[in-house]
Amino acid sequence: MTQTDGSPFAPHTDAETAAMLESIGVDTEADLFDIPAEVAFDGEFGIESRSEQEIRGELRRLFARNDDLTEFMGRGHYSHYVPSIVDHLSDRAEFLTSYTQYQPEITQGFLQALFEYQSMLVELTGLPVANCSMYDGATALAEAALLADRVRQTSGHRILVPEFLRDGKRSVLENYVDGAGLVVDAYPMDDGNVDREALVDLADEETAMIYAENPTVRGTIEEGLTEIGTIASDTEALFCLGSDLVALSLLQEPASVGADVVVGEADVLGLSTSYGMGLGIFATRDAFLRQVPGRLVGVGEDSDDRRAYTLTLQTREQHIRKERATSNICTNQAWVALRAAMHIASHGPDGLVDLAEDCVRDAAALADRVDRIAGYQAPVHDRHHFREFVVRSDQPADRVATALEAEGFAVHAIADHLLQICITETNAHATDELIAALQEAA
Amino acid sequence: MIYDQARYTEGDKHEPLLSEKDTTTVEVGGTDSPLPDDLTRDDLTLPGLSEPELARHYTRLSQMNWSIDSGPYPLGSCTMKYNPKFTEDVAADPNAAIHPDRSADSAQGNLGLLYGLQEYLAAIGGMDAVTLQPPAGAAGEFTGILVAKAYHDHHDNDRSEVIIPASAHGTNFATAAMAGYDVVELTADEDGRVDLEALKAAVSEETAALMLTNPNTVGLFERDIVEIAETVHDAGGLLYYDGANLNALLGRGRPGDMGFDIMHYNVHKTFATPHGGGGPGAGPVGVVDDLAAFLPSPRIEKTDDGEFERFEPDHTIGKVHGFSGNWLVLIKAYAYIARLGDDGLADASAKAVLNANYLADQLELAVPYGPFHHEFAATAGDRDAADVAKRMLDFGVHPPTTKWPEMVPEAMLTEPTEIESKRTLDRLAEAFNNAYSDTDEAIETAPSRTTASRIDQVSAARTPRLSWQALDDE
């Protein structure tokens, strides 16, 4: 059945419409519009209405045009198995179809879930303040730089980032900080870790923030975090650390290495592969509480002296503070945060640590197998790895990636002769086939 | 109607926190660890609960939460409309769950969807080119203003100001400031619209853009829009359309036809994707031809042989999201637009405007500004709008946005959307009127039938407790 007239989601019968118009005192719906004729539109977008069934078929056929590839891709967007309980509970309409909690008395459920999410981030980062979401890791990093600009004790206007920072992340960062007059400079890497000698030379009183990642975008685990923290504090720059929820479950606690802000990808739990949709972590120290961007859920009491949850410290936000707000963010990723919290809870601490340890073991094991194929060296960096690693190929990397695609695999080609391969529990079943395809393409 | 929300009560709290149900500490590192101890944390302390326990916990939390599927949610400027269920199913298609760095050849399905949505939105807004990358409305604003800045820079035209009406959303001001502009605030004329004389006095060679919401935040269409556009353009500035209120115009007016150069779309408002308790949304940005070269990268084009390709606009500002924005939301928006088509979209706006006018007509509260479209700002007069709103909760409806915009004293900004029936609107009006005419004591102590009674937000902000760890420390 093709819908031809009216919205299927407007319940009005003709009789009700007529009664409502009569009550208002006008003849037609058109009479209610106060749009000058010179800018009025005739309604012809050329969009044909289709039935629910037709659209489901149309989009099923469209998405079937994506090649059915087994992905060994990471670099900021990861695939972990999301248990069914996360889908079923987060899809409950009371969560999914609710709005921001501007009336906390009637939205205690979502507020508590977000408070629990914040608490989980506090545990994972060791920092006492976590907001209830940023759009993604890239915008969270950008907001961290703006926070550094607001709280900086020096005249610094430089943000130092690793030379390996993903292009997309760097571009977002540059777009966000340009208006504040900050500039972004790269420091070199040394075999997949921060080149700390070079960083010491670069960091000076002009530096507002030093950003490092653990794991890095190349999958290496950073071994000099404490020293990086010291370099930052010696120059009175903020130390911002990028990570993700799974890595945080195992790797050094950010607070223990002097991190002032933690950002990164929280979507690694709760979302799985979704064409880059994200959830940004933002956690920081108490001292910067009133400079935090985005929404915070706090605990208060209701008039019956019961514990109650509410959005709090809203005077930081744009709807109150306007151009003096800490950020323009309003709509955030609350539902994804709910899903991440559910996913964390479903793993529990044992499950999270196990999952994270597998990310180390599986990457090492796969790199070892790749290294044994003639024509490849892996891992390129002599470091511990998390989920992913870089491979040097004798053949041009593009050619290898294309050959793998023909065999049903997707990997990153990141430089002329460098591939990057990412393994998690969602593609681990296909490693034998990947190895065979790599052999074929060598 | 009287409403009772679910409560699960244990002493001085409701549903206990996960951490109060279980707290487990595991040691990290040691002999079985794949990493040396100096590269790991010492331990990890989190709740460790079984699946049935978690199912009950989150089900209970959901029952302590209001939603559009629970009942009316007439928050002004938020466009809380029903989120069609089938859009969840199309977004869950496993074939669409691919990595954003996939080659174009191997991602034709996703690129095809993005291309299709770009085309739909361009047609609906009367724009020439669209980016889908911004992950929310405010991110769309920021993208649009960055595009305006890049355009002016490209023409060696350094401008320092963005003009914004006082009644605009707070995001507009914050966006302009983030982009490095000085904000020039424009007061309304006595009818509630842009004061043309004030605008003429405000524009100058420093004007980068005027950000305008149309209909504005009390639902009024800017009748002088053609002259407004001329005024801004004559000064060399650009006209930016805030799409928050686009649900009033579908099929009856297009920003592009009104002289707007840049606009964002709030797909979680106009195109019915779920708000998810605060997000995710999506804030695509449309521009006219002259600005297309500055949009974020990549955009999607269709080749003559029907293939979809990514391309980088010639003078692109780069990226505003790490990857491609809120993909799942974009799928749902496409499905909604396809479901409605031309007639359904126009009818959505017609019924949204009808509903707002009918509801206002049933209220004992005055509505100072009109003729309004899909939303109206009633005034609670000598009553406190926030108190009236709290009392409404007891009657099984969510109240409107309160005390904003400030041009209406004790404002109750109300947007019922097209999804409410006459019967529901009558019930909503009854809740409004009952609360409005209730005793001082009743409205000051409300609500009483929700999970929590009135929450002391002032003391919650004075002593911030933002985690269960903070509660444990007390």
A88 and A74 both lie in a single domain: no
pLDDT higher than 50, residue A4: no
- The confidence score (pLDDT) of residue A1 equals 36
Mean pLDDT of chain A: 96
Q: Confirm whether A181 is domain-assigned.
A: yes
Residue B218: phi and psi, rounded to 5, are: -110, 15
Choose the final residue of a domain: A296, A319, A341: A341
| CB within 8 Å: A98 and B66 | yes
Residues 200-219 of A with CB under 8 A from B: none
Mind listing the pLDDT tens digit for each residue in B173-182? 999 999 999 9
Q: Confirm whether A4 is domain-assigned.
A: no
Among B17, B325, B454, select the one facing A105 at the smallest CB separation: B454
A216 and A161 both lie in a single domain: yes
A131 and A156 both lie in a single domain: yes
Q: Confirm whether B320 is domain-assigned.
A: yes
- The confidence score (pLDDT) of residue B473 equals 76
Q: Domain span at residue A20?
A: 14-63
| CB within 8 Å: B341 and A3 | yes
- The confidence score (pLDDT) of residue A3 equals 39
- The confidence score (pLDDT) of residue A154 equals 65
Q: Confirm whether B285 is domain-assigned.
A: yes
Best residue in B32, B41, B426 for a mutation probing chain A (most A CBs within 10 Å): B41
Among A8, A95, A130, select the one facing B344 at the smallest CB separation: A8
Residues 111-130 of B with CB under 8 A from A: 112-113, 120, 123-124, 126
As for how many domains chain A has, the answer is 3
Across B247-272, average pLDDT: 98
* Burial class of residue A46 in the structure, from the number of CB atoms within 10 Å of its CB (0-12 exposed, 13-18 middle, 19+ buried): exposed
What CATH number is associated with residue A382?
A: 3.90.1150.10
Residue B96: phi and psi, rounded to 5, are: -85, -10
Across B53-61, average pLDDT: 98
As for how many domains chain B has, the answer is 1
DSSP-derived 3-state class of residue A428: helix
A155 and A211 both lie in a single domain: yes
State whether residue A47 sits within 8 Å of chain B by CB. yes
State whether residue B473 sits within 8 Å of chain A by CB. no
Pairing between β-strand B24-27 and β-strand B43-46 as defined by DSSP bridges: antiparallel
State whether residue B321 sits within 8 Å of chain A by CB. yes
Q: Confirm whether B413 is domain-assigned.
A: no
A288 and A196 both lie in a single domain: yes
A265 and A396 both lie in a single domain: no
Among A8, A300, A338, select the one facing B460 at the smallest CB separation: A300
CB-based contacts of B186-192 (< 8 A; 24+ apart in sequence): B188/B407, B191/B220, B191/B369, B192/B167, B192/B216, B192/B218, B192/B220, B192/B368, B192/B369, B192/B407
Q: Confirm whether B243 is domain-assigned.
A: yes
Q: Confirm whether A28 is domain-assigned.
A: yes
Q: Domain span at residue B122?
A: 86-339
Across A105-134, average pLDDT: 98
pLDDT higher than 90, residue A76: yes
Chain B residues with CB-CB distance to A30 below 8 A: 350
Residues 60-79 of B with CB under 8 A from A: 60-70, 73, 75, 78
Q: Confirm whether A5 is domain-assigned.
A: no
B422, A12 in Cβ contact below 8 A?
yes
Closest residue in B to A44 (Cα–Cα): B342
What CATH number is associated with residue A180?
A: 3.40.640.10
Model confidence at A153, pLDDT cuts 50, 70, 90, reads: low
Residues 305-364 of A with CB under 8 A from B: 305-310, 312-315, 317-325, 327-336, 338, 342, 344-346, 348-350, 352-353, 357, 360-361, 364
A288 and A434 both lie in a single domain: no
State whether residue A41 sits within 8 Å of chain B by CB. yes
Using a pLDDT cut of 90, give the percent of chain B over it. Answer: 99
B378, B411 in Cβ contact below 8 A?
yes
State whether residue B166 sits within 8 Å of chain A by CB. no
- The confidence score (pLDDT) of residue A155 equals 76
A249 and A386 both lie in a single domain: no
What CATH number is associated with residue B324?
A: 3.40.640.10
B422, A20 in Cβ contact below 8 A?
yes
Mind listing the pLDDT tens digit for each residue in A209-243? 999 999 999 999 999 999 999 999 999 999 999 99
Q: Confirm whether B160 is domain-assigned.
A: yes
* Burial class of residue B393 in the structure, from the number of CB atoms within 10 Å of its CB (0-12 exposed, 13-18 middle, 19+ buried): buried
- The confidence score (pLDDT) of residue B474 equals 73
Mean pLDDT of chain B: 97
Residues 262-291 of A with CB under 8 A from B: 272-278, 289
Across B419-436, average pLDDT: 98
Among A9, A34, A138, select the one facing B322 at the smallest CB separation: A138
Mind listing the pLDDT tens digit for each residue in A34-72? 999 999 999 999 999 999 999 999 999 999 999 999 999
A322 and A435 both lie in a single domain: no
Q: Confirm whether B43 is domain-assigned.
A: no
Q: Confirm whether B65 is domain-assigned.
A: no
Task: State in Å, rounded, how far the first CA of chain A is from the last one.
Answer: 54
Best residue in A28, A60, A97 for a mutation probing chain B (most B CBs within 10 Å): A97
Chain B residues with CB-CB distance to A331 below 8 A: 136-138, 266, 268, 275, 278-281, 283
State whether residue B400 sits within 8 Å of chain A by CB. no
Within 10 A of B201 (CB to CB), how many other CB atoms are there?
10
B354, A17 in Cβ contact below 8 A?
yes
| CB within 8 Å: B59 and A89 | yes
pLDDT higher than 60, residue B91: yes
State whether residue B406 sits within 8 Å of chain A by CB. no
| CB within 8 Å: A94 and B466 | no
Mind listing the pLDDT tens digit for each residue in A396-422? 999 999 999 999 999 999 999 999 999
Across A133-141, average pLDDT: 98
- The confidence score (pLDDT) of residue A2 equals 38
Choose the final residue of a domain: A294, A311, A341: A341
pLDDT higher than 70, residue A263: yes
Closest to B185 (Cα-Cα) out of B171, B169, B202:
B202
Dist CA B243 CA B238 (whole Å): 16
- The confidence score (pLDDT) of residue A5 equals 74
A291-309 in b/e form (b: 16+ CB < 10 A) is bbbbbbbbbbbbbeebbbb
Dist CA B68 CA A95 (whole Å): 10
A128 and A244 both lie in a single domain: yes
| CB within 8 Å: A29 and B251 | no
| Amino acid, res. A299 | V
**Selected residue with higher pLDDT from A377 and A317:** A377
Mind listing the pLDDT tens digit for each residue in B141-160? 999 999 999 999 999 999 99
A226 and A121 both lie in a single domain: yes
Rounded to a whole number, what is the distance in Å from the CA of A417 to chain B's nearest CA?
18
- The confidence score (pLDDT) of residue B397 equals 97
pLDDT higher than 70, residue A277: yes
- Half-sphere CA count of A395, side-chain side, radius 13 A: 17
Chain A residues with CB-CB distance to B138 below 8 A: 318, 328-331
Q: Which helix (H) or strand (E) holds B207?
A: strand B207-213
Q: Confirm whether B356 is domain-assigned.
A: no
State whether residue A5 sits within 8 Å of chain B by CB. yes
Residue that is written with structure tokens 């000099």 in the block: A224
| CB within 8 Å: B347 and A6 | yes
A337 and A397 both lie in a single domain: no
